Chains A and B, each alone.
Chain A
Amino acid sequence: MPTPREIWETEFGAAPRRDADFETMSGIPVEPVYGPDNGDFPGQFPYTRGPYASMYRSRLWTMRMFAGFGTAEDTNWRFKEIIRAGGGGLSTAFDMPTLLGIDSDDPMALGEVGRCGVAVDTLADMEDLYADIDLGEVTTSMTINSPAAVIFAMFVAQAEKAGIPRARLGGTLQNDILKEYQAQKEFVFPPRQSMRLVRDTIAFTSAEMPRWHSVSISGYHIREAGSTAVEELAFTLANGFAYVELALAAGLPVDAFAPRLSFFFNAHIDFFEEIAKYRAARRIWARWMRDRYGAEDPRSMQCRFHTQTAGVSLTAQQPELNIARTAIEALAGVLGGTQSLHTNSMDEAMALPTEKAARIALRTQQIIANETNVAHVADPLGGSHYVEALTDEVERQAEEIFAHIEELGSGSMLEGAIKGIEENWFQGRITDSAFELERKVNEGRRIIVGVNAFTEGNDEEQIPLLRITNEDEQRQRKRLDAVRDRRDTSKVDAVLARLRSEAADPEINLMPTLIEAAQAYATLGEIMSAMGSVFGRHVEVPTF
Chain B
Amino acid sequence: MAGERILVAKVGLDGHDRGVKVVARILRDAGFEVIYTGLFQTPETVAAAAVDEDVDAIGLSMLSGAHMTLAPAVVEAVRARGADIPVMVGGIVPDHDLEELTAAGISAVLTPGSTAEQIIDEVRRVLDAEMTG
Q: Give the B-binding residues of A (Cβ under 8 A).
A: 96-97, 99-100, 102, 107-112, 115-116, 180, 184-187, 224-226, 312, 315-317, 349-352, 430-431, 434-435, 438, 441-442, 448, 450-452, 462, 465, 467-468, 470, 539-544
Binding-face segment, B15-23, B76-84, B124-132: B15-23
Instruction: Say whether B37 contacts A185, CB under 8 Å.
Output: no
Q: What residues on A are CB-neighbors of B22 within 8 Å?
A: 226, 431, 434-435, 438
Binding-face segment, B52-60, B99-107, B109-117: B109-117
Q: How far is the CA of A448 from the CA of B112 in the complex (A)?
A: 12
Q: What residues on A are CB-neighbors of B20 within 8 Å?
A: 544
Q: Closest residue to B97 on the A side, CB-wise?
A: A467
A316-B112, A438-B116, A442-B117 known; A109+B13 contact, CB < 8 A: yes
Q: What residues on A are CB-neighbors of B37 within 8 Å?
A: 542
Instruction: Say whether A111 contacts B18, CB under 8 Å.
Output: no
Chain B interface SS verdict (over half): loop
A423 to chain B, nearest CB (A): 17
Q: What residues on A are CB-neighbors of B24 within 8 Å?
A: 544
Tell me which of A112, A180, A451, A470 contacts B64 (CB under 8 A).
A112
Instruction: Say whether A111 contacts B117, CB under 8 Å.
Output: no
Instruction: Say whether B115 contacts A442, CB under 8 Å.
Output: yes
B66 to chain A, nearest CB (A): 4
- Asked if B51 lies at the interface with its beta carbon under 8 angstroms from chain A, I say no
- Residue in B13, B20, B34 with the greatest tally of chain A CB atoms within 10 Å: B13
Q: How far is the CA of A225 from the CA of B38 in the complex (A)?
A: 15
Instruction: Say whether B92 contacts A99, CB under 8 Å.
Output: no
For chain B, residues 22 to 67, give those with C-beta under 8 angstroms from any C-beta of chain A: 22, 24-26, 28, 34, 36-40, 42, 64-66
Tell me which of A180, A226, A349, A452 contacts B112 (CB under 8 A).
A349
Instruction: Say whether A99 contacts B13, CB under 8 Å.
Output: yes
Q: What residues on B are CB-neighbors of A541 within 8 Å?
A: 38
Q: How far is the CA of A184 from the CA of B13 in the complex (A)?
A: 12
Q: How far is the CA of A270 from the CA of B45 in the complex (A)?
A: 41
Q: What residues on B are CB-neighbors of A543 within 8 Å?
A: 36
Of the A-B pairs whose beta carbons lie under 8 Å apart in the complex, a sample of 25, sorted by A's number, is: A110-B70, A112-B13, A112-B65, A115-B66, A184-B15, A185-B17, A224-B18, A316-B112, A349-B92, A349-B112, A351-B65, A351-B92, A352-B65, A430-B18, A431-B18, A434-B21, A435-B25, A438-B26, A438-B116, A462-B95, A470-B69, A540-B39, A541-B38, A544-B25, A544-B36
Instruction: Say whether A465 contacts B94, CB under 8 Å.
Output: yes
Q: What residues on A are CB-neighbors of B95 within 8 Å?
A: 462
A97-B13, A111-B70, A316-B113 known; A116+B18 contact, CB < 8 A: no
Q: Closest residue to B116 on the A side, CB-wise?
A: A442
Tell me which of A180, A430, A468 contacts B65 (CB under 8 A).
A468
The 7 closest A-B pairs by CB, nearest first: A111-B69, A542-B38, A185-B15, A111-B66, A96-B13, A544-B24, A544-B21
Instruction: Say whether A96 contacts B64, CB under 8 Å.
Output: yes
Q: How far is the CA of A542 from the CA of B117 in the complex (A)?
A: 25
Q: How far is the CA of A10 from the CA of B39 in the complex (A)?
A: 55
Instruction: Say whether B12 contacts A112, CB under 8 Å.
Output: yes
Q: Give the A-binding residues of B (Cβ under 8 A).
A: 12-18, 20-22, 24-26, 28, 34, 36-40, 42, 64-66, 68-70, 92, 94-96, 111-113, 115-117
Q: Closest residue to A541 on the B side, CB-wise?
A: B38
Instruction: Say whether B18 contacts A226, CB under 8 Å.
Output: yes
Q: What residues on B are CB-neighbors of A351 within 8 Å?
A: 65, 92, 94
A465 to chain B, nearest CB (A): 5
Q: What residues on B are CB-neighbors of A96 within 8 Å?
A: 12-14, 64, 66
Q: How far is the CA of A308 from the CA of B8 in the complex (A)?
A: 30
A435-B22, A438-B22, A442-B117 known; A108+B65 contact, CB < 8 A: no
Q: Closest residue to B20 on the A side, CB-wise?
A: A544
Q: What residues on A are CB-neighbors of B26 within 8 Å?
A: 438
Q: How far is the CA of A123 from the CA of B60 in the complex (A)?
A: 35
Q: Closest residue to B28 on the A side, CB-wise?
A: A544
A100-B13, A108-B12, A542-B37 known; A116+B92 contact, CB < 8 A: no
Q: How far is the CA of A30 from the CA of B81 in the complex (A)?
A: 73
B26 to chain A, nearest CB (A): 8
Instruction: Say whether B36 contacts A542, CB under 8 Å.
Output: yes
Q: What residues on B are CB-neighbors of A225 within 8 Å?
A: 16-18
Instruction: Say whether B113 contacts A317, CB under 8 Å.
Output: yes
A316-B112, A317-B113 known; A108+B13 contact, CB < 8 A: yes
Q: Closest residue to A315 on the B side, CB-wise?
A: B113
Q: What residues on A are CB-neighbors of B40 within 8 Å?
A: 108
- Residue in A97, A107, A312, A544 with the greatest tally of chain B CB atoms within 10 Å: A544
Q: What residues on A are CB-neighbors of B112 within 8 Å?
A: 315-316, 349-350
Q: What residues on A are CB-neighbors of B36 within 8 Å?
A: 542-544
Q: How far is the CA of A184 from the CA of B64 in the complex (A)?
A: 13
A95 to chain B, nearest CB (A): 9
A351-B94, A544-B36 known; A451+B16 contact, CB < 8 A: no
Q: What residues on A are CB-neighbors of B21 within 8 Å?
A: 431, 434-435, 544
A209 to chain B, nearest CB (A): 29
Q: How far is the CA of A310 from the CA of B37 in the complex (A)?
A: 28
A316-B111, A462-B95 known; A112+B66 contact, CB < 8 A: yes
- Residue in A99, A180, A315, A351 with the greatest tally of chain B CB atoms within 10 Å: A351
Q: Closest residue to B119 on the A side, CB-wise?
A: A442
Instruction: Say whether B15 contacts A350, CB under 8 Å.
Output: no
Instruction: Say whether B39 contacts A111, CB under 8 Å.
Output: no
Instruction: Say whether B113 contacts A434, CB under 8 Å.
Output: no
Q: What residues on A are CB-neighbors of B13 within 8 Å?
A: 96-97, 99-100, 102, 108-109, 112, 186
Q: What residues on A are CB-neighbors of B68 within 8 Å?
A: 111
Additional A-B contacts beyond A180-B15, A438-B26 (5; CB < 8 A):
A115-B65, A185-B17, A316-B111, A350-B112, A448-B113
Q: How far is the CA of A383 from the CA of B70 in the complex (A)?
A: 54
Q: How far is the CA of A540 from the CA of B20 in the complex (A)?
A: 15
- Residue in B20, B21, B24 with the greatest tally of chain A CB atoms within 10 Å: B21
Instruction: Say whether B92 contacts A111, CB under 8 Å.
Output: no
Instruction: Say whether A111 contacts B12, CB under 8 Å.
Output: yes
Q: Closest residue to A186 on the B side, CB-wise?
A: B15
